[in-house]
């Protein structure tokens, strides 16, 4: 095989605040040769997720931090171009942890085969990827919505939020999305079928929650944390469920994380707040994926991808997540 060059982003230092280009080393090196049991994948699309910021930090978490000098961790989808593994053949398309690089070489731990003839490859990083699995299990297993419930979702125009809201609609709930800007709020209603929207950038969130949720909030699906979480806690209904799926407003903090001051609402309303990590549900991904694929085929669920070209743009493109510049699932086309 002709020698291939591999562009890579390595984590050079642990960021303080927002990650910048200076926190990474960009290098081009020859692609390593395969050992038995390994495959080589040419990356076509990489998933950019808020969780990546947390993976750069040192300390205990649900997953080991990216080591300094290692290729930055990223989920991706691509094509197998060489294989010494019995279960993967040249020409197979796969989804797995490819890293921020042109070529992955290694054992395909946790890799799944995907079929780009069924849906476009980016959808396997969106509705049919970890994004979809996060929305599905966080809402249905932790949030436990019932038909007629009022479900409020923050970060609703983002990857996970937009899918979680649509699933809540499929389950017969009244769905209110919180997003930043008139355009995103209109998209929630027109494109994703939400019943109402709150523009946290341009209206008082307490007044808007009172307007949209007069009977209270039965399920709050939180992707942002901070002041918005605190505001929704004041509107909880009896026996409400609060799902902590993410806290994007806090990931770049240089100070301590802002915790909820209104947590006594959980006591008063006999409510529950529970954290969620998608990998806890890995054994059920295949079944959930089949149900999600069915909803996509029936037109009940839309997968929206925001695709940016160029591996070399990675540090700046990642920041779009924290500036609210993406609409739907942010994906880097390698």
Fold category of 5-126+304-333 in CATH? Quinone Oxidoreductase; Chain A, domain 1 (3.90.180)
Whole-number pLDDT of residue 258: 84
CATH no. of 130-278 = 3.40.50.720
Confidence of residue 253 (pLDDT cuts 50, 70, 90): confident
Q: Which residues of 283-299 are buried (b: 16+ CB within 10 A; e: fewer)?
A: eebeebbeebbebbeee
Domain ranges of the chain: 5-126+304-333, 130-278
Residue 1 has pLDDT above 70, yes or no: no
Whole-number pLDDT of residue 2: 60
Tell me the pLDDT tens digit for each residue of 61-80. 888 999 999 999 999 999 99
In this structure, what token pair is assigned to residue 309?
């070209």
Q: Tell me which H or E stretch contains 205.
A: helix 205-212
- Name the pTM for this structure: 0.92
Tell me the pLDDT tens digit for each residue of 79-107. 999 999 999 999 999 999 999 999 999 99
User: At residue 46, what are phi and psi to the nearest 5 degrees?
Assistant: -120, 140
Whole-number pLDDT of residue 124: 96
Tell me the pLDDT tens digit for each residue of 127-140. 999 999 999 999 99
Other CB atoms within 10 A of residue 25 CB: 16
Q: CA 47 to CA 77: how far, in whole Å?
A: 8
């Amino acid at each position: 095989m002709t020698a291939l060059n591999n562009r890579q982003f390595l984590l050079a230092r642990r960021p303080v605040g927002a990650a910048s280009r200076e926190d990474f080393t960009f290098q081009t090196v020859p692609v390593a040769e395969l050992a038995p049991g390994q495959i080589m994948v040419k990356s076509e699309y990489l998933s950019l997720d808020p969780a990546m910021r947390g993976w750069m930090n040192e300390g205990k978490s649900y997953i080991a931090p990216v080591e300094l000098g290692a290729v930055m961790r990223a989920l991706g989808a691509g094509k197998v171009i060489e294989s010494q593994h019995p279960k993967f053949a040249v020409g197979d398309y796969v989804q797995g942890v490819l890293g921020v690089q042109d070529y992955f070489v290694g054992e395909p731990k946790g890799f799944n085969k995907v079929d780009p003839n069924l849906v476009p490859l980016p959808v396997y990083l969106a509705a049919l990827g970890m994004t979809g699995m996060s929305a599905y299990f966080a809402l249905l297993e932790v949030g436990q919505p019932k038909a007629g419930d009022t479900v409020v979702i923050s970060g609703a125009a983002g990857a996970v939020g937009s899918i979680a809201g649509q699933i809540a609609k499929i389950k017969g709930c009244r769905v209110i999305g919180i997003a930043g800007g008139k355009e995103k709020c209109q998209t929630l209603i027109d494109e994703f079928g939400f019943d109402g929207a709150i523009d946290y950038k341009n209206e008082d969130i307490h007044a808007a929650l009172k307007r949209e949720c007069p009977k209270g909030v039965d399920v709050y699906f939180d992707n942002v944390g901070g002041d918005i979480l605190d505001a929704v806690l004041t509107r909880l209904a009896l026996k409400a469920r609060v799902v902590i799926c993410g806290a994007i407003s806090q990931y770049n903090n240089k100070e301590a994380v802002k915790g909820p001051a209104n947590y006594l609402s959980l006591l008063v309303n006999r409510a529950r707040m529970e954290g969620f990590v998608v990998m806890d549900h890995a054994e059920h991904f295949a079944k959930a994926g089949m149900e999600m694929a069915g909803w996509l085929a029936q037109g009940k669920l839309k997968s929206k991808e925001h695709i940016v070209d160029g591996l070399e743009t990675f540090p700046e493109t990642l920041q779009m997540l924290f500036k609210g510049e993406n609409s739907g699932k942010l994906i880097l086309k390698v």
